[in-house]
Structure 1
Amino acid sequence: MPLTTPGYPQLLLRGLLAGLIAGLLAATFAYLAGEPHIDAAIAIEEAGAPEGDALVSRDVQSGPGLFLATGLYGIALGGILATAYTVLRRRLHTGSDTTAALGLAAAALTGIVLVPYLKYPPNPPAVGDPATIDQRTAAYLAAVALGLVAVWAAALAARTQTHPWARATAAAAAFGVVVTIAYTLLPTFDEVPADFPATLLWDFRISSLGTQTILWTTLGLGYAGLLARLAHRTETPVTLP
């Protein structure tokens, strides 16, 4: 369906709303579970660095700034999900709008979050060499792109089979091959100081993954729910011609 079709604004609006809700919930989790670890890491960093004036105070960064940034990020992701749903809905082999929306969100969580996360887990402040930030950024973006390629390869492989177990096996094999090749080709960065607390590093990474998981899970469930309400109101499925 072209983006100028009258149905797209309704789909987009619901994606933006679902994204806002997802962003605020993710920000709440990040504030409660992640910010204490960031504060602890910053304390370690400041202990070994000369004192300086921050452009934005930590109270603003960890409070209003966190909710504003994550809310806007969620809105942007909601718009992307709605657009992807509009463009790809006809190609998804399911008659359920809910399944389609949840499937797209799960694919995004896998390709955009999980695949890069396992290769390049996030590090708190005080971890990482500033001299390699450009290389690390480029490698991370490459991991995101290859993660999406892996999801796409899995979807194509699944379509070559008819039996459910065969579809699942083909998808897992294709996904695994692409991810293995990607992890082999991408560079490795090991810049965690030997004296950095392992527990703090682990807790920070788990809270970061939890924030992303809550964001995408809420986005998928919220968008699917809003689509169901739209279909109920119009008494027709939200399927695209």
Structure 2
Amino acid sequence: MLLKTEIYHIKTIASLLFISVLSTSYLHAQVIDCNAAQPASIKKICHSNFKSLRHDLNAHYLTAYLVTDAPTRLIDDSNKLWLNFASQCKNTSCLKAQLNDRIEDFNFFTSMNQSLTQHYLKYENGHLAKTPVHIQIHQLSKDRIKIEGLAYRDPNRKTDAQTESLLAYTTPDKKNEILDNEHQCKYQLNFQKAILEIKTQQKGCDRFTGVYRLYD
């Protein structure tokens, strides 16, 4: 049986290890620290009106960083894109909505099983595309694949016009040719190791065309 002093020492060591993990995560995670010098994309969020939402955002970000089975680099890069997107807001209600949406994103990364999902972000000239586009390829079963896309447009638009979506279902042997159920757009997908290229011959369907990088 452990003595009280031994139990105390074990608890102390466990607490120190936990704090160490949290500290390491804070070093790597991009929590918003309004006491430090910040780029223009964050200054709006540092307004006192958003103090409570900022606290919730940072807490959800760190939780996602600690427990998600999605690539943490995906969380980092998608957060950079989100900050640039949210910085386009022209009023308080727009920015509050974007903060709440991002908290929901972190909940998704935390609660959903990401092990059967491949995530791709759009790149242009070797860098993350300024207009964010996120492709997810879900392995629903051995013979069933779900492909989802989300292209961001303008946070100042009405809620249903801020983004454009793509949704397609296919099989492993036919995933190079898909039909978007949302807009009846046909796309050609070319998978090359960590790169995905999406093309289309249809006019008005080019929102999701381009080169994407796989996060694994």
TM-score by length of 1: 0.29
TM-score by length of 2: 0.31
- More helix by proportion, 1 or 2? 1
- More strand by proportion, 1 or 2? 2
